[in-house]
Amino acid sequence: MEQRVAKRSDNLESSLNQVRNVFDVSNILEKRQARPQIIHYYFINRLTLLFYNSHGFFHYGISYDGKYKKDDHKEHARIIERYIRERDAKKVMELGSGLGPNIAFLARRNPNVVFDGVDLSNKPLNRNTTPPNAFFYFGDFHHLSQFEDDSYDIIYIIEALCYATDKSRVLHEARRKLRTGGLLIVFDGYQRNRVEPLNPSEGVMWRLISKSLACETIEYVQVVEDYMRKEFSITEVKDLTQCVLPSLFRFKRLARFYFRRPTLARAVNTFVPHDVVKNTIHILLLPISVERHVGCYYMHVLQKE
């Protein structure tokens, strides 16, 4: 019953119409998001996200008290640090390290640990501030042959596994690089497991969210957990959806301002790169997807047996 009331009051239909007034929705839905598109999206957005997020974090903050604070972007790294210290880890790798803020934070506080970061589209913008125990490589996490097998204590991946075109392969590669007993820690957004299929509008909403994040499809938690179980044992699962909501709501007013002025928005679209303006779509729709129990955010801790 509660869910039905939420469905009537969350303005999904009018939000989708607002998106249609400003963007060519069928074009967005048809355009495949593969490696070149991901590289372009993150390359073009790095200055935008630096401006919005500060400190170069390309992920949502984890806010336990329901209020967004800039410091909440460091919470993933703080959680990972607990595992590093608990296990006395010496060698750690981040897959999809973006502009390197997680590694920079961890490497500064853990000078005796070596950190390797691999990313398809970015390396840190300011190498002068990179700690000496942090190393960054351009590369695709589907192919990690340049890194030593059975050598890492911990590998982690924050909001990047969703971009994998072959998740089984990425998990297999990560497993090969971990020593026995090593951990893979995954933070990511998913489609929530559900019995009822999405209705047509929810389907469009979810595909638009995925594409506006340069993701081909954001899969069900259960589907990704099945891939995980083939390579690892899952030792911890945390639903952090409520904790990322304050970050999701942060730019809602900006998105509303934009979509309520379609003439202005279409004018903006003519000179701001498409990969930048399309972010307004997931800013508008992601909170609705969470209200409708479609979108969710999880942490998984996996162990190599």
Ligand X SMILES: C[S@@+](CC[C@H](N)C(=O)[O-])C[C@H]1O[C@@H](n2cnc3c(N)ncnc32)[C@H](O)[C@@H]1O
| Locus of tokens 């990313």 | 119
Q: Which is nearer to ligand X, 18 or 121 (CB)?
A: 121
**Total site size for ligand X, rule CB under 6 A:** 22
Burial tier of 262 (Cβ tally within 10 Å: 0-12, 13-18, 19+): middle
Maximal C-alpha separation, the chain: 58
Site string for ligand X, 48-87 (x = CB under 6 A): ---------xxx----------------------------
Q: Which is nearer to ligand X, 16 or 218 (CB)?
A: 218
Among 136, 152, 163, 259, interactor with ligand X by CB under 6 A:
163
Q: Which residues contact 156 (CB under 8 A, 6 or more apart)?
A: 76, 80, 92, 93, 94, 95, 102, 184, 185, 186, 187
In sequence order, the β-bridge partners of residue 226 are none
Q: Which residues contact 5 (CB under 8 A, 6 or more apart)?
A: none
Is 121 near ligand X (CB under 6 A)? yes
Whole-number minimum distance, CB 137 to ligand X, in Å?
A: 10
What sign does the dihedral 89-91-95-101 (CA atoms) show? positive
Q: Which is nearer to ligand X, 166 or 239 (CB)?
A: 166
Choices 104-112, 126-134, 135-143, 195-203; region in contact with ligand X by CB under 6 A: 135-143
Whole-number minimum distance, CB 305 to ligand X, in Å?
A: 25
Closest CA to 96 of 174, 18, 1, 2: 174
Residues in 230-249 at the binding interface with ligand X, rule: CB under 6 A: none
Q: Which is nearer to ligand X, 72 or 119 (CB)?
A: 119
Binding site for ligand X (CB under 6 A): 38, 42, 57-59, 96-98, 101-102, 118-122, 140-142, 158-160, 163
